[in-house]
Structure 1
Amino acid sequence: MSSARSFAPLPSFPSGEPSQSQVEQGDVSKALIPFSQQGAMGLQPAVSATHAPVVPFIPQQGQETSLTIPGYEDMIYVPPMYTKPRPIIPRYRAISGFVSFLLVCLMLCAGASYYAKTSGMLNTVSHFITGGNPPPTIHTNNYSLPDPPNKIDKGPAYNTIPSATTTLHLIQNTIAVQTDRVFHPGEVFALTYSVYPPGKTSGKVIIKWYSNNVLYQTIPSDTIKGGGSTSAYVKIAYSEQAEGSVELWWQDLSTNQTQLAQRLYFVVRN
């Protein structure tokens, strides 16, 4: 006895490849779509169901989003820096400015020299450099003055200093060519004298200058040894008008006694 076996139909599962009927249905459905939409659908990429979903890239703060171009290195941005422009001075202007500076210096030197000469400062500087004593300058009042008295006041020591005179003209710095008694302000004149010490006594000549009967300066000479004669001179200048006089005194070093030899008169006026 044979038994009849019945088999239930197996359920159908869709396979990975579409069947011919599905392909035909797809072609029919695609034929019903307009041509422009078919082209757009054909350009869409196929996405596999097994791929992970695409996450959009969000740039972080401070991170640059520019893409690097292949074949070019990254460029560094350098901010512009401002530098103060330096003025360009033409050569001819520089030369002319230097020449002008030299001319101004020469004019200043000439003016200073003229002032030093007229004020008597030049003589003072020259005496300072050479080591000599500059002639003293006497400041007096400005008024009209008469001629000086033509006389010589003699003292007890006149025989010791018998010769003395004021002059503007000297020979060999010791001999007076003539006697002068009228001088001008700022003019340098000289007093010459001869000394004959008594016996072998040594001494000094003390010269006292007066301006309007007021003692201005006292100038002692070097020690003069006895037994001979000595001639000497001194120079002086008055800056303003004055009635002047000069006294010559003899100082005996053995007794330290001082006696007047003689007094001379002169005037300084314009």
Structure 2
Amino acid sequence: MKEKIVVTLTQSEAFSEGLDEFLAATGWEYIPRGRRGLDKLRKETGALWVVVWSSEGPVLYGPQGRLFFHPSMAKNRISQHRKGLTVDVMERVVGVRANDKFLDCTLGLGADAIVASYIAGEQGQVVGLESSRVLAFIVSFGMRYYRTDMVWLQNAIRRVRVINADHLEFLRRQPSQSYDIVYFDPMFRVPVSQSQPLSPLRLFADHRPLSGEVLNEALRVARRRVVMKERRDSAEFARLGIEQVVGGESSRVAYGIIEKGGKV
């Protein structure tokens, strides 16, 4: 995405804590809001996207809608887990344990990484890679400024370290066996839901399919296993030579698991 992005404040709030850091990190231009609406601001600046900085973090607005960090699914999953109603898939299938080092190579909005962070706990380490600069900045600063009375959720979010990086390049730089689990949730070839085929997330996301080289690098870096999430009926598992696929008939997604010592 090369379209111009500018940053402004809300009309009702002069919150600017962290704004200078955000502008320095992104390199995006700050435009005073005044009383202008976002459509007028976009038209006057020639920007396709406008980031509105607020006390809850950055929100990206554009023709296809808005994009911001919110731990909705992670919050629900951890809440159910804490009540003893479910054993989350991160623990039950992916195999995350307390004190694990977990590498999420396709962070997106971070739901799986947050759940993994909760399970891994204070002594664990969760790193989330996001190849899109836009997504990486919106999510990382959104995580930083997200506030909730649920301390267990906020702590899990704060422990996720977001890095803007291509996962193959990052994996090549890592020592062997430096993470317990290396995890991939690539953008599905066919969306599970057709309701928002041009949502901002899909526009900014990396649509490249995984390669055998990526999985072999992941196996070198992993201590226990490499896991790939995909649609249950996806041909990606067979294409990549992943034989162990776990997913119930009632679920639309499945998990391909390569144990340490495996090869693709």
Structure with the largest fraction of helix: 2
The structure number with the bigger radius of gyration is: 1
TM-score (norm 1): 0.20
Say which structure, 1 or 2, has more relative contact order (CA 8 Å, 6+ apart).
1
TM-score (norm 2): 0.21
